[in-house]
């Protein structure tokens, strides 16, 4: 019984690959989170106006509606 399992030693054979993949996924989440409002504001004029108002500290009651959803912003 001279051989130790990777379970008992904590050394997984693919640990380096798993860490790298986890890091890449985490970086993608941060990039997506940062870029998404910018891209969305370029695509939607209503969102662009509301986002600019939010950054300027202004509040307004706005209703965004579509065929499936209605969202009411309350200040």
Strand spans (E) along the chain? 63-65, 70-72
pLDDT in tens, 44-70: 888 878 878 888 887 666 555 555 655
- Residue 35 has what pLDDT? 92
Distance (Å) of CA 57 to CA 2, 25, 51: 67, 33, 10
pLDDT in tens, 10-29: 567 788 899 999 999 999 99
pLDDT at 37 over 90: no
CB 72 within 8 Å of CB 57: no
pTM across the whole model? 0.44
């Amino acid at each position: 019984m001279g051989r130790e399992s990777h379970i008992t030693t904590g050394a997984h054979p693919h640990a380096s690959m798993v860490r790298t993949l986890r890091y890449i996924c985490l970086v993608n989440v941060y990039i997506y989170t940062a870029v998404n409002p910018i891209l969305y504001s370029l695509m939607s004029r209503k969102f662009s106006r509301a986002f600019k108002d939010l950054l300027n500290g202004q509040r307004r009651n706005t209703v965004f509606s579509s065929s499936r959803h209605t969202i009411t912003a309350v200040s």
